[in-house]
Amino acid sequence: MKIADVRVTIVQHPMPPLHGARWGGMQEISLVEVVTDEGIVGYGSARAQGGSGGRAIADPILRVAAPRVIGEDPLNRERIWQALARLERAGYLPIFATSAIDVALWDIAGKALGQPVWRLLGGYRDRLSAYASSAHMESVDAYIRELEDVRARGYRAYKIHPTGRASEDVALCRAVREAAGPDFPLMLDPGGAYSRDEAMRVGRVVEQLGFVWYEEPLRDYDFTGYAELSRALDIPVQVAEVVPGHANLSTEYILREAGDHLRSDVYWKGGITGVIKTAHLAEAFNMPLEIHHGASPIMNWANLHVACAIPNCDWFEVLVPENAYDYGLTRYPNPGPDGMVVAPTEPGLGVEIDWDWVRANTVNA
């Protein structure tokens, strides 16, 4: 079996509410198809940083990556991944292109071998507890209403994306904890909004409130600040969510003790192959690796396959409201009434493209 073609279709979708409140407008996502000479097609997707720029990511996929993978055996995923990862140096090939192609290759492998990807990766479990992950909202009441809604629908935890204004965020966390009660799991993700002093102050509050984790309060590369924060707080500090890179970059966080948990996903970290490398690295240091949302439905399905194949991930993130993030497929990795997200049993990723939606939203027809 050989790779015969790589196709890219750019589709448009409204910016989701997590970032749409800041940027607004539309985002462009590249649907990537890796086609084999035996008729098996694997799917991935790519979205340039900032949410727009579908053409900016489609061009390097077609111009740089495709000529290097066409003619290769798609089951030689490691060989292809290494070749593409080397091209990420100096921006010759964005990591998001490597990620999309790698996910598509895993999809092909599962289809060719008749197994879902999570089983090919090792098959640790077939389901995972889901937490609802909020948008940025401007009133405490809005967060509490959302908490009550997702809890009633079975979600097992709730993560707050706050305003990023430390004093307001403290009040918000206290109010949400009071509404949730003492035992319902809560997380906080300020998205790098705080100074070191603010991060320490807010961290002590959420620690006292019994939050499950404290996610990325500082800028991405503040290794010293994260090391100081992790030493001072008992609540786990999570790091490296949207830092493009592979296990080698995660090594810096681990060796500098700049964080207690790693964050990863197939979109930012070089596909399924990249995340598996990072997950095993974290496991060697007895360190959790929590997987975050995959920036598109296809990539989020790929995230679920990885999460079900490793022992050091406890939760699956679902951004809410779900319908703002679900597009282009016939089904999505959302939880049932029991709050669990169940891995597909179909070969490959188990995704089915909604081609009517794709045709209606294509911008490069």
Query: Over the stretch 57-77, which tens digit does the pLDDT of each residue have?
Result: 999 999 999 999 999 999 999
Each residue of 211-244: pLDDT tens digit?
Answer: 999 999 999 999 999 999 999 999 999 999 988 8
What pLDDT does residue 294 have? 86
Of 235, 193, 188, the closest CA to residue 215 belongs to 188
For residues 266 and 275, the answer to whether their CB atoms sit within 8 Å is yes
Domains 3-114+354-361 and 119-342 share a fold: no
What pLDDT does residue 290 have? 98
Return the residue matching tokens 């924060």. 229
Q: Provide the H-helix boundaries in the chain.
A: 17-23, 54-60, 66-69, 77-86, 95-113, 117-120, 140-152, 166-180, 196-208, 223-232, 247-255, 271-284, 297-307, 355-361
Residues in CB range of 268: below 8 A, 6 or more apart: 95, 96, 99, 241, 242, 243, 244, 295
Single-letter amino acid, residue 95: I
Each residue of 94-119: pLDDT tens digit?
Answer: 999 999 999 999 999 999 999 999 99
Of 133, 217, 201, the closest CA to residue 167 belongs to 201
Q: Assign 23 a pLDDT band (cuts: 50, 70, 90).
A: low
Cβ-in-10-Å burial (0-12, 13-18, 19+) of 183 comes to exposed
Of 2, 26, 212, 181, the closest CA to residue 108 belongs to 2
For residues 153 and 176, the answer to whether their CB atoms sit within 8 Å is no
Cα separation, 33 vs 115, whole angstroms: 19
Domain residue ranges of the chain, discontinuous segments joined by +? 3-114+354-361, 119-342
Q: Assign 20 a pLDDT band (cuts: 50, 70, 90).
A: low
What pLDDT does residue 55 have? 77
Coil, strand or helix at 203: helix
Picking from 238-247, 278-287, 313-322, 338-347, which range would have the lowest pLDDT averaged per residue? 238-247
Backbone region of residue 163 per phi and psi (left: phi > 0; alpha: psi in -120 to 50; beta: other values):
alpha
For domain 119-342, the CATH architecture is Alpha-Beta Barrel (3.20)
Q: How far is CA 195 from CA 16, 203, 217, 235, in A?
A: 27, 12, 8, 18
Tokens of 254: 């681990």
Coil, strand or helix at 67: helix
What pLDDT does residue 53 have? 58
Cα separation, 145 vs 163, whole angstroms: 16
Cα–chain-centroid distance for residue 143? 22
CATH 3.40.50.920 given to domain 3-114+354-361: no
Average pLDDT over residues 186-208: 98
- As a whole-number percent, the residues of the chain with pLDDT over 90 amount to 88
Q: How far is CA 6 from CA 43, 238, 308, in A?
A: 10, 36, 28
For residue 39, how many other CB atoms are within 10 A of its CB?
A: 8
Of 270, 249, 251, the closest CA to residue 85 belongs to 270
